[in-house]
Amino acid sequence: MTSKRSSLHGQWSSRWAFILAATGSAVGLGNIWKFPYITGENGGGAFVIVYLVCIACIGIPLMMAEILIGRRGRRSPVNTMRTLAAEGHHHPAWQYLGWTGVLAGFLILSYYSVVAGWALAYVFRAAGGLFDNATGEQIGELFTALISDPERLLAWHTIFIVMTMIVVSRGVQSGLEKAVRFLMPGLFLLLAMLVGYAMSTGSFTEGMAFLFSPDFSKLSSASVLVAMGHAFFTLSLGMGAIMVYGSYLPEDTSIAQTSIIIAAADTLVALMAGMAIFPIVFAHGLEPGMGSGLIFQTLPIAFGHMPGGTFFGTLFFVLLVFAAWTSAISLIEPAVAWLVENRGMTRVMASAWAGLATWIVGLGTVFSFNLWAERKLFGMSFFDLLDFATANIILPLGGLFIALFATWTLSRRVTKDELKLGRTGYQLWYILTRYVAPLAVIVIFLNVTGLLELG
């Protein structure tokens, strides 16, 4: 039995390369596009608190579990699960956990790419000066014009998928690593600038109160599910993205420390996006719960009114595209790594096939904003349903089983050896991962399905 392996696909050149890549995976549309709009839909403060608690008590321990499993197995999530299960004489069915991850990544990327396409389109709208002095209403019309045109959405979706596949096909070292180096600081600076602008709108206090003063009467059990689902989504957990990145992690890197850094950076970006957006929403009398177009209908107003707005607006959407790009590559990496390992494909072929399949499923999302806008399943459009099912059901379920695998199935010798924590640190991780995280997921699931009456 070998406990130390190396990955067929290469290794990160340093601990920082891993932190950058994993942060690149975590920080994306989830932080800047999704977090503000679901916070708006779910009433603000109380939702944010549940989300933060989920990040701390479920997200961080689970990220550690995923990284350690990945580093131990050193293969694609499917083969890592298969290998670790076989080595410990556990049930071979554990490999299906790898499969759900591949499926989730591919489904998420199919709609993620469409939204990233909006960001791409907005680079050109910003650069063309379309936001200059525009009113909230004009900005709203601009957004509606974009999403109601299937051809335009399809074109941007196609371009984004191709961009993703080009980076993925180049592999871990040359492709993924280089893509993340300058993005984070740049994005961070621009967000700070937008928060600065938000302070000048006169509605900053109102925006901050919406985000940070909790009103628990606004919190339904469905909102709690969305908050938890988003904690998984935003940290890229529950589907093997972080596991596959962990499989390229050098042996001597501290898993706990890196997980905390990644989660903190991710949370900071999301909160800053919220602080930039809600003051603008209130200053212009917009509706916080307007849905998935929220940032595309608020931030352009800011750019249209600030000095140098054309430049900063363009730069912002370029960075948003980059943030989406580095997340997208991690969504499809588990599938590509599997195709290379098990189907003997080259990385280029594997990326092409994975990209094509994702592109096809993405058509459903493209049409759900226009041609199929009236078609609803469980009261949701194709896009909403896909987003709901993946982020709020498949990822938490995947995460639940990953937590169970790490603490009920893998031996303590293995997890201790990988985590290299002191006694208290290890105990804390163990309790959170073995009991707290799984129970929280189960209780939230049961509660939302109405199977559990919590008073």
Residues in touch with ligand PHE (CB under 6 A): 25-26, 28-31, 108, 233-234, 236, 239, 241, 327, 330-331
For the CB of residue 305, give the shortest distance to ligand PHE in the complex, in Å. Answer: 28
Residues, the chain, total? 455
* Identity of the residue, 106 or 382, whose beta carbon is nearer to ligand PHE in the bound complex: 106
* Identity of the residue, 29 or 339, whose beta carbon is nearer to ligand PHE in the bound complex: 29
* Identity of the residue, 243 or 281, whose beta carbon is nearer to ligand PHE in the bound complex: 243
Q: Tell me the C-alpha distance between 35 and 227, whole Å.
A: 9
For the CB of residue 29, give the shortest distance to ligand PHE in the complex, in Å. Answer: 4
For the CB of residue 104, give the shortest distance to ligand PHE in the complex, in Å. Answer: 7
* Identity of the residue, 113 or 201, whose beta carbon is nearer to ligand PHE in the bound complex: 113
* Identity of the residue, 27 or 147, whose beta carbon is nearer to ligand PHE in the bound complex: 27
Q: Tell me the C-alpha distance between 297 and 199, whole Å.
A: 18
Q: Tell me the C-alpha distance between 330 and 77, whole Å.
A: 12
Q: Name residue 432's amino acid.
A: L
* Identity of the residue, 77 or 313, whose beta carbon is nearer to ligand PHE in the bound complex: 77
Q: Name residue 387's amino acid.
A: D
* Identity of the residue, 28 or 396, whose beta carbon is nearer to ligand PHE in the bound complex: 28
For the CB of residue 235, give the shortest distance to ligand PHE in the complex, in Å. Answer: 6
Helices (H) and strands (E) in the chain, counts: 23, 0
DSSP secondary structure code for residue 377 in this structure? B
Q: Tell me the C-alpha distance between 192 and 312, whole Å.
A: 12
For the CB of residue 247, give the shortest distance to ligand PHE in the complex, in Å. Answer: 15
* Identity of the residue, 236 or 310, whose beta carbon is nearer to ligand PHE in the bound complex: 236
* Residue of minimal Cβ distance to ligand PHE: 30
Decide: helix, strand or coil at residue 443.
helix
For the CB of residue 14, give the shortest distance to ligand PHE in the complex, in Å. Answer: 22
- Beta partners for 380? 377
For the CB of residue 426, give the shortest distance to ligand PHE in the complex, in Å. Answer: 27
CB 290 within 8 A of CB 55: no
For the CB of residue 241, give the shortest distance to ligand PHE in the complex, in Å. Answer: 4
| Residue 455, token pair as written in the block | 């008073």
Exposure letters 227-264 (e unless 16+ CB within 10 A, then b): bbbbbbbbbbbbbbbbbbbbbbbeeebebbebbebbbe
Cβ neighbours around 358 below 10 Å, total: 26
149's CB contacts (< 8 A; 6+ apart) are 370
Q: Tell me the C-alpha distance between 234 and 268, whole Å.
A: 12
